[in-house]
Chain A
Amino acid sequence: MRSSVSFILDNKVISEDFKDAVLPTTTVLNYLRSLPVHKGVKEGCAEGDCGACTVVLGELAGDKIKYTAVNSCLVFLPMIHGKQLVTVENLKSADGALHPVQQAMVETGGSQCGFCTPGFIMSMFALYKNHNQPNRETIDDALTGNLCRCTGYRPIVEASAKSCVHCGLDSLTSWEPNVVQHLRSIERSAALIETKHQTYFQPRTLLEALTLKHQHTDAVVICGATDVALRVTKKHELLKKIIDLSLVDELQQIQDDPDCLRIGSAATLSSIEGSIVNFPALRDTFRVFGSVQIRNLATLGGNIGSASPIGDTLSALIPYGAKVVLQSVADKREVLLENFITGYRKTVRADDELIVEIIVPRPSPESIIKWYKVSKRKDLDISTISAGFRLELDSTNKISSVTLAYGGMAEQVKRARSAEDFLQGKLWSRETVEQAMPFIDKDFTPISDARAGKEFRQVAARNLLLKFWSETSPEKGKPR
């Protein structure tokens, strides 16, 4: 069994055997900063909110390399096994010429204090590799995960637009065949990394994963680790046993069935993005979910499994009637998502079970499904409240079916049952909606916290229902 981690850095295969008191949960950020020549990567927050630590991972995709930007503060070293780690130091060409994204940043005045700059450069490099002549929306999306306190971003946006025009060709392109060869040489086998204080399992197959979970019910399960990593970087917890599902290919499949979409629990949100074009409410969720760096790591299984009261995908999936597939060595079962969560970060998942799949039924054409998020900052912010609504009307415009799922209003994502009951069978009109709004107050007793006061949560929750109505009315919904 493999007990080391291999990856490519500076065009060389590097192997880490965790012999020198290096913990498997060492983050890529801390690993890089411990090296003499990789101090370009910066720590700004150690929680994936500022992007100063952004690096790019290269992965085999056929005989090409696929490049994705990630927050290195959230990535444990074993998670980059079999990948290429590209840092800001790697972008200059051999003759010392700046990479087009670097050159453009210099020309537009995109750096002031410079501390966030390496992170921006890496996000821009990933954009450069993945998009030619990106539009403003794509550029903004690529840069959302990077905070700058000096420039006001305008010159960075300009530099991105100006530089991403060479179809991704650059000095790294000529190295690519070499890198592909190196990557192929790294065996993607299962791993067991045992150190004095920590055991890190990296199964390759679902059966291995289930067996491990059966044997080690106390192990923490991770895949993208965007949530769990904070227990290490911010709370300094020593996680004793970890099962990392990121190498289990079976869990990353996305299957587009006629009546439903089946999403592997370990599929990253980025990899799902292309499959949800016909699920507009989900699409809206993903658009404001974290940042590119987060979505490149985070998985749907992780967001659901953490059962956070403000998990954005939960309020978005409940209106679709999504189901969670749970599996253990012995058994496999399907649970309706809204029944899956039972309380504050509590679920029906048994200790030996893994979430293996999420089934999203394809809604009937008559269904109107919308998702809303209220947050202090529109992007890369945890919801103050969120809401996913589904409405079906009969031929007389009466409500035949309605689901109102709210996040941030209670200890778990929950439906506003009494408001739903009130609405059932009534005419879908503003009057009805205004009469239903007070019922939402009855359904929830929100709290005040760092994000907002309870009064705001109540008013906003009512308002979202009105907003939903307005968006079904041709006159009111959009600014005109």
Chain B
Amino acid sequence: MNPGLTPHESAAKHVTGEAVYIDDMHVNDQLLVGRVVYSPHAHARITSFDLSAAKAVAGVHAVLSYKDIPGHNQMGPVIKDEPCLAETEVVCVGQAIFLIAAETEEQAREAERLIKIEFEQLEPVLTIEDAMAKNNLLGPPRTMQRGDADAALQSTLHRISGELKTGAQEHWYLESQVCLCIPGEENEINVFSSTQHPSETQALIAEVLGIRKHDVVVEVRRIGGAFGGKETQGNHAACWAALLCHATKRPVKIRLFRDDDMIMTGKRHRFLSKYEAGFDDDGNLLAAKIELNSDGGCAVDLSFAIMERAMLHSDNAYYIPNMHVLARVWKTNLPSNTAFRGFGGPQGMAVIETIIDRIARRLHKDPLEIRHKNFYGDESRNITHYGETVEHNRLPLIYDQLVSSAEYFQRREAVNKFNDRNEFYKKGLALTPVKFGISFTTSFLNQAGALVNIYKDGTMLVNHGGTEMGQGLHTKMQQIAAAEFGIGLDNVKVNATNTSKVPNTSATAASAGADLNGMAVKNAVDTLKGRIAETLAHIFTEKNPERPSLQQNIRFECDSIFDSSHSERRMGFAEAISLVNFRQVSLSATGFYKTPNIGWDKEKGWGKPFHYYAFGMACTEVLVDTLTGHHTILRTDILHDVGDSLNPQIDLGQVEGGYIQGNGWVTTEEIKWDAKGNLMTHSPDTYKIPSVQDIPKDFRTQLLQNVPQPDTIRKSKAVAEPPLMLALSTWLAIKDAISAVANHEIEPDFSLPATNELIVLAVEELKRKKKDIIMNQTVISTR
């Protein structure tokens, strides 16, 4: 395997437009357009509705309400609190109420206009603060602790406390939610869904249709971007399309229009966090008390798992001897918030990084000095606040290499000098770490399956449970199978993910897609290699009975299979496969994997939830125009740990892409709802994800070299989520620049995202406070 030169398996199809997404699939002329009619109110009672006029529109084949659902009216993934179609109450703007299937989009829209529905308005809860005031919890609070934070806070020399708001984030996958359902015989339904979790999509469709799972086949060839937004909420469009397909017995496709997608689907959870921290003169963190409050929206979805990960990442890379984390998920009348790359980790880390940053300002030290001092140790100070030992700690290695390659301390000097010279322009610099736990914290989900078929011509079709959404999972699976068999990549094809090939899978999520499915593929490959080796050993021995070939000496290399102790006993791979088939040996095998050595006691909040940690650091320098609030990233240096990379180009792409997506969250991506719970930022006109102009002018990303990870697929590590949190360096570099306006002597008002609005207003506030201080000093000196 020469992993450096293996492009994405679909790259040539992407660039020619030949890659087929669900909306591009050719369907027969019976295809109907599905349309979802959703609530215009954040909270209301449905008092009556009349669908008769809508049903009478020519070309309309079905108009469905909850009464037409043959099975359970339910699509909640964990807790059954999400009706597929609203019954008597709507709990957010964008909640589905009716479904329409028509021959054309115009007919469907016409039918929507003719639906009569009456609402009685109820009072909505639209903010975390309001939910807290009304004690509107989505579930019980949770705590995690180690040591005695209260007692330690009493005795520490220095203490800080504060509040931090971190904003929501829209996934903005380029391909909006889409599903195509095609009816089969009797109850059978074939579903082509843009979902990260085909098995759950299958289960929920069976549930709403009142049919059995073996009648539902869900297939995913590729997803046009997901980022967590299709972990549970891809199910919705799938259930709706399935209902219409079942009702009309015709193929039905639902593709959400961009604005509808943004209005209807959940976002990254916004958080309102509170903290208290105690530290000594040198900046050693001695205690932290953190309170995390998230906006779960109108239903549970994955909110508790997301909150759990936020709690588990409230330490980020720092050893905190006394720590207490309290977490509450609040219920509001907004679409149910959901998974988004990082899954709570970013929100937890933003709090502890704020604490570190404030300690530095209080002690008049460089924040990097405080960070370095508090990093987890190798031999001691290496146990997290939930009891997991930080093994294979790469923090010191990454720190040493990055501080030097990014010339952090020299640039700090230069930044200070620049800030002395310039009044309206300020530069900021920050180097921040990421330590991210890899595994689903719901331990049973850490399993994967595969099915590998070898055909008589020596070609191979690999099926596994993971979905391809751009992250290069299929490429990595193809590489693993090819490398294990010693054959060329072009002999291995990865099939569309299909529930009839590999059943009962977990979502492709938690960055674990390659880890879990890679091991499952290898497991299937090992089974096949065993069978092939045994058969070939027989065949070789038959010709040389006096000197038998032993199974354990059979090698798979260079498109051939041979006996390593008799290298002349060699056969081309394809020829060998055809012989094995002739000997009546199965060339199809399943593989399975479950993550070993994890054990997490959710009740106690103690144990080993993670198989291992991924590490990385980023150093970002920004230039801020304090008059307009515009910022420019002048340079970014990233050093990230992916173990022995399965595919460096793909992994680099994940690291860079994650960092830029994180930069969107911490800078320009601001979500606003109005006072009635309508999403104001419902299109790219007002919701601004990073463009090419927003990336660092000088962008240097490296993968940490020579760090094989034990007990993982080919000594690699997960990538996907962790790099998103490298963007906290951008956020804190902006804060550093703002802080320079008052010579780092006053703590700026700062939250996330740091929009130009926040920057300008924070600078105004600092100038005011600075003026007050100068005036007070003048008063004192004249006395």
Is B17 a contact of A88 with CB atoms below 8 Å?
Answer: yes
A164: min CB distance to chain B, Å: 15
Instruction: Please name the residue on chain A nearest to B764 by beta carbon.
Output: A459
Is B422 a contact of A49 with CB atoms below 8 Å?
Answer: no
Cα–Cα distance between A51 and B199 once the two chains are bound (Å): 33
Task: Tell me, yes or no, whether B12 is within 8 Å of chain A by CB.
Answer: yes
A281: min CB distance to chain B, Å: 16
Is A450 a contact of B692 with CB atoms below 8 Å?
Answer: no
Taking a contact as CB atoms closer than 8 A, the residue among B227, B657, B684, B695 that contacts A45 in the complex is: B684
B8: min CB distance to chain A, Å: 6
Cα–Cα distance between A157 and B422 once the two chains are bound (Å): 32
**In the assembled complex, which residues on chain A have CB atoms less than 8 Å from the CB atom of B14?**
105, 111, 114, 117-118
Of the candidate stretches B116-124, B167-175, B298-306, the one touching chain A is B167-175
Taking a contact as CB atoms closer than 8 A, the residue among A40, A98, A107, A150 that contacts B653 in the complex is: A150
Task: Tell me, yes or no, whether A36 is within 8 Å of chain B by CB.
Answer: yes
**In the assembled complex, which residues on chain A have CB atoms less than 8 Å from the CB atom of B681?**
450
For A31-72 the 0/1 string (1 means CB < 8 A from B) is: 000001001111111110110100000000000000000000
Known: A40-B16, A377-B668. A115 touches B21 (CB 8 A): yes
Is A52 a contact of B174 with CB atoms below 8 Å?
Answer: yes
Taking a contact as CB atoms closer than 8 A, the residue among A152, A381, A479, A480 that contacts B656 in the complex is: A152
Is A151 a contact of B656 with CB atoms below 8 Å?
Answer: yes
Of the candidate stretches B125-133, B458-466, B565-573, B621-629, the one touching chain A is B621-629
**In the assembled complex, which residues on chain B have CB atoms less than 8 Å from the CB atom of A111?**
8, 10-11, 14-15, 470
Cα–Cα distance between A372 and B21 once the two chains are bound (Å): 42
Q: Which of A440-480 contact B (CB under 8 A)?
A: 449-453, 455-456, 459-460, 463-464, 466-467, 470, 476, 478-480
**In the assembled complex, which residues on chain A have CB atoms less than 8 Å from the CB atom of B172?**
147, 149
Cα–Cα distance between A374 and B424 once the two chains are bound (Å): 15
Cα–Cα distance between A236 and B418 once the two chains are bound (Å): 53
Task: Tell me, yes or no, whether A255 is within 8 Å of chain B by CB.
Answer: no
Known: A109-B653, A463-B760. A479 touches B422 (CB 8 A): yes
**In the assembled complex, which residues on chain A have CB atoms less than 8 Å from the CB atom of B174?**
42, 44, 50, 52, 113, 115-116, 147-149
Is B694 a contact of A377 with CB atoms below 8 Å?
Answer: yes
Q: In terms of DSSP, what is the predominant structure of the interface of chain B?
A: loop
Cα–Cα distance between A89 and B684 once the two chains are bound (Å): 27
Cα–Cα distance between A105 and B418 once the two chains are bound (Å): 38
**In the assembled complex, which residues on chain A have CB atoms less than 8 Å from the CB atom of B601?**
none
Number of interface residues of B (CB under 8 A): 84
For A67-109 the 0/1 string (1 means CB < 8 A from B) is: 0000000000000000000011101100000100111011101
Taking a contact as CB atoms closer than 8 A, the residue among A36, A105, A376 that contacts B670 in the complex is: A376
Is A106 a contact of B12 with CB atoms below 8 Å?
Answer: yes
**In the assembled complex, which residues on chain B have CB atoms less than 8 Å from the CB atom of A143?**
692
Residue of B7, B26, B653, B660 with most partner-chain A CB within 10 A: B653
Is A146 a contact of B11 with CB atoms below 8 Å?
Answer: no
Cα–Cα distance between A460 and B693 once the two chains are bound (Å): 22
Instruction: Please name the residue on chain B nearest to A151 by beta carbon.
Output: B657
Q: Which of A96-140 contact B (CB under 8 A)?
A: 98, 101-103, 105-107, 109-118, 121, 140
**In the assembled complex, which residues on chain A have CB atoms less than 8 Å from the CB atom of B764?**
459
**In the assembled complex, which residues on chain B have CB atoms less than 8 Å from the CB atom of A101?**
15
Is B223 a contact of A113 with CB atoms below 8 Å?
Answer: yes
Task: Tell me, yes or no, whether B282 is within 8 Å of chain A by CB.
Answer: no
A354: min CB distance to chain B, Å: 28
Cα–Cα distance between A77 and B458 once the two chains are bound (Å): 50
Is B628 a contact of A463 with CB atoms below 8 Å?
Answer: yes
**In the assembled complex, which residues on chain A have CB atoms less than 8 Å from the CB atom of B668?**
376-377
Task: Tell me, yes or no, whether B699 is within 8 Å of chain A by CB.
Answer: yes
**In the assembled complex, which residues on chain B have CB atoms less than 8 Å from the CB atom of A234?**
259, 683
Task: Tell me, yes or no, whether A8 is within 8 Å of chain B by CB.
Answer: no
Instruction: Please name the residue on chain A nearest to B423 by beta carbon.
Output: A476
Is B692 a contact of A105 with CB atoms below 8 Å?
Answer: no
Task: Tell me, yes or no, whether A439 is within 8 Å of chain B by CB.
Answer: no
**In the assembled complex, which residues on chain A have CB atoms less than 8 Å from the CB atom of B658?**
152
Is A98 a contact of B627 with CB atoms below 8 Å?
Answer: no
Task: Tell me, yes or no, whether B469 is within 8 Å of chain A by CB.
Answer: yes
Is B627 a contact of A464 with CB atoms below 8 Å?
Answer: yes
Task: Tell me, yes or no, whether B550 is within 8 Å of chain A by CB.
Answer: no
Instruction: Please name the residue on chain B nearest to A379 by beta carbon.
Output: B693
Task: Tell me, yes or no, whether A378 is within 8 Å of chain B by CB.
Answer: yes
Task: Tell me, yes or no, whether B297 is within 8 Å of chain A by CB.
Answer: no
**In the assembled complex, which residues on chain B have CB atoms less than 8 Å from the CB atom of A117?**
14-15, 17, 19
For B53-66 the 0/1 string (1 means CB < 8 A from A) is: 00000000000000
**In the assembled complex, which residues on chain B have CB atoms less than 8 Å from the CB atom of A87?**
17
Task: Tell me, yes or no, whether B409 is within 8 Å of chain A by CB.
Answer: no
**In the assembled complex, which residues on chain A have CB atoms less than 8 Å from the CB atom of B472?**
112
Taking a contact as CB atoms closer than 8 A, the residue among B23, B424, B653 that contacts A151 in the complex is: B653
A92: min CB distance to chain B, Å: 6
Range, interface on chain A = 35 or more
Instruction: Please name the residue on chain A nearest to B223 by beta carbon.
Output: A113
Is A49 a contact of B684 with CB atoms below 8 Å?
Answer: yes
Known: A115-B224, A455-B761. A381 touches B15 (CB 8 A): no
**In the assembled complex, which residues on chain B have CB atoms less than 8 Å from the CB atom of A89?**
16-17
Instruction: Please name the residue on chain A nearest to B688 by beta carbon.
Output: A377
Task: Tell me, yes or no, whether A363 is within 8 Å of chain B by CB.
Answer: no
Taking a contact as CB atoms closer than 8 A, the residue among B225, B688, B755 that contacts A115 in the complex is: B225
Is B672 a contact of A450 with CB atoms below 8 Å?
Answer: yes
Cα–Cα distance between A376 and B628 once the two chains are bound (Å): 10
Task: Tell me, yes or no, whether A154 is within 8 Å of chain B by CB.
Answer: yes
Task: Tell me, yes or no, whether A153 is within 8 Å of chain B by CB.
Answer: yes
**In the assembled complex, which residues on chain A have CB atoms less than 8 Å from the CB atom of B171?**
149
Task: Tell me, yes or no, whether B471 is within 8 Å of chain A by CB.
Answer: yes
Cα–Cα distance between A36 and B668 once the two chains are bound (Å): 39
Known: A45-B258, A455-B761, A456-B757. A149 touches B688 (CB 8 A): no
A49: min CB distance to chain B, Å: 4
A73: min CB distance to chain B, Å: 11
Task: Tell me, yes or no, whether B652 is within 8 Å of chain A by CB.
Answer: yes
Cα–Cα distance between A327 and B153 once the two chains are bound (Å): 77
A263: min CB distance to chain B, Å: 26
Instruction: Please name the residue on chain A nearest to B7 by beta carbon.
Output: A106
Cα–Cα distance between A379 and B660 once the two chains are bound (Å): 16
Taking a contact as CB atoms closer than 8 A, the residue among B258, B470, B628 that contacts A113 in the complex is: B470
Cα–Cα distance between A316 and B658 once the two chains are bound (Å): 37
Task: Tell me, yes or no, whether A325 is within 8 Å of chain B by CB.
Answer: no
Known: A109-B649, A115-B224, A150-B470. A378 touches B627 (CB 8 A): no
Is B685 a contact of A374 with CB atoms below 8 Å?
Answer: no
Instruction: Please name the residue on chain A nearest to B5 by beta carbon.
Output: A107
B397: min CB distance to chain A, Å: 24
Cα–Cα distance between A376 and B759 once the two chains are bound (Å): 11
Taking a contact as CB atoms closer than 8 A, the residue among A115, A121, A451 that contacts B686 in the complex is: A451
Is A467 a contact of B628 with CB atoms below 8 Å?
Answer: yes
Known: A114-B14, A121-B15. A140 touches B693 (CB 8 A): yes
For B173-202 the 0/1 string (1 means CB < 8 A from A) is: 111000000000000000000000000000
Task: Tell me, yes or no, whether A156 is within 8 Å of chain B by CB.
Answer: yes
Is B661 a contact of A149 with CB atoms below 8 Å?
Answer: yes
Cα–Cα distance between A114 and B173 once the two chains are bound (Å): 11
**In the assembled complex, which residues on chain A have CB atoms less than 8 Å from the CB atom of B425?**
478-479
**In the assembled complex, which residues on chain A have CB atoms less than 8 Å from the CB atom of B20?**
39
CB pairs A–B below 8 angstroms (16 shown): A39-B20, A44-B258, A47-B258, A47-B684, A89-B17, A101-B15, A106-B11, A112-B657, A117-B14, A117-B15, A147-B689, A152-B660, A374-B756, A375-B756, A460-B629, A480-B422
The 5 closest A-B pairs by CB, nearest first: A40-B17, A113-B470, A115-B224, A114-B14, A152-B660
B interface vs A, CB < 8 Å?
7-8, 10-21, 23-24, 26, 109, 171-175, 222-227, 257-259, 418, 421-425, 427, 469-472, 623, 625, 627-630, 649-650, 652-653, 656-661, 668, 670, 672, 680-681, 683-686, 688-695, 699, 701, 755-757, 760-761, 764
Supply 13 further A-B pairs (C-beta < 8 A) apart from A114-B19, A152-B657, A375-B756: A49-B685, A50-B684, A113-B226, A114-B470, A140-B693, A146-B692, A149-B171, A149-B225, A152-B660, A153-B695, A376-B668, A379-B691, A382-B686
